[in-house]
Amino acid sequence: MTNNQTSKWFDEYHKGVRYGLQGEILIDLKSEYQQITVFNSRRYGRALLLNGCWMTAELQEKNYHECLVHPALSSALQIKKGLIIGGGDGGTARECLRYQDIEQLDLVEIDEKVIEISQKYLPIIGGSAWKDPRLKINIQDGIEWTENTKENTYDFIIVDGSDPAGPAEGLFNESFFRNCKRSLRAGGIFAMQSESPESFLTIHLDTVRTIRKVFKYADPLYGWVPMYPSGWWSWTFAAMEGAHYLKPLPQRVDAISQDCKIWSAQWQKGAFQAIPAFIERALKASN
């Protein structure tokens, strides 16, 4: 303990653990769906919290967004038309729009306030995405959106939601995954943040198992987001014809790698392989 204790801290509490950043609250409001807070942290710049949980921060967001986007977009057969469910901070859209092949990117966010606050207080995270004519913002429930999407509409679908409590709960259900699969074109890839294998073990395993059941081919990949519970995070990728998310296309890799903080084709290969023994055993047992 140090005398830093007297400074201002904002902590996220999770099962007897807390992770706190020093700084001050910039804005704190309640939207129709959740509590939205922007915090100016000394260490990671401005950060967004939803219902008191750290979602992203200017100097930490690439650890999350690159790992969610690039394994999918570097390897899908084509990437002309894509869908993001959630992702109201704009970081996922920004990473997607780095690919010139994209012609249309639908972003479906349930909470307009998240977009509004992110654009105003965290403009760096969405960056040029907000002004990109390829981005179509839809304020709607992502579950409803996929229910109403026609077959074979998207080349990729990325689910960038929060923990399965509150508005994101239905994003972890089999019926939602089935609608995503139906909406996906041949050669398409589905990508989803799939929680911490440490702090949300059951949800993590259930998510991987359910996605695998629906899509047939699905694998988790492991990385680090220090501000999330345990710092240890996962993203799960799925495809219908084979595990082609394991094989990034060299041309896209070349176009993207240089400006990545975490992601590279080598990193991706390792991150899929680095499945901890206890997770590997648990997933094998359920096959």
Nearer to its own copies, 151 or 277 (CB): 277
CB of 84 to its own copies, least distance (A): 23
160 is catalytic: yes
CB of 265 to its own copies, least distance (A): 10
Selecting among 89, 160, 163, 219, the annotated active-site residue is 160
Nearer to its own copies, 151 or 285 (CB): 285
Beta carbons within 10 angstroms of residue 30's beta carbon: 11
Nearer to its own copies, 140 or 264 (CB): 264
Nearer to its own copies, 92 or 196 (CB): 196
Nearest to 209 by CA among 196, 221, 198, 219: 219
CB of 230 to its own copies, least distance (A): 4
Sign for the CA dihedral angle at 118, 122, 124, 125 comes to: negative
Contact of 255 with 100, CB cutoff 8 Å: yes
The token pair at 48 is: 């967004």
CB of 17 to its own copies, least distance (A): 6
Task: Return d(Cα 23, Cα 276) in angstroms, integer.
Answer: 35
Angle at which helix 174-183 crosses helix 201-215, to 10 degrees, equals: 40
- What residues line the site for its own copies (CB under 8 A)? 1-2, 4-5, 9-11, 13, 15-23, 41-43, 52, 198-199, 222-224, 226, 230-232, 257, 260-264, 266-267, 269-278, 280
Task: Return d(Cα 172, Cα 159) in angstroms, integer.
Answer: 10
Catalytic residues: 160
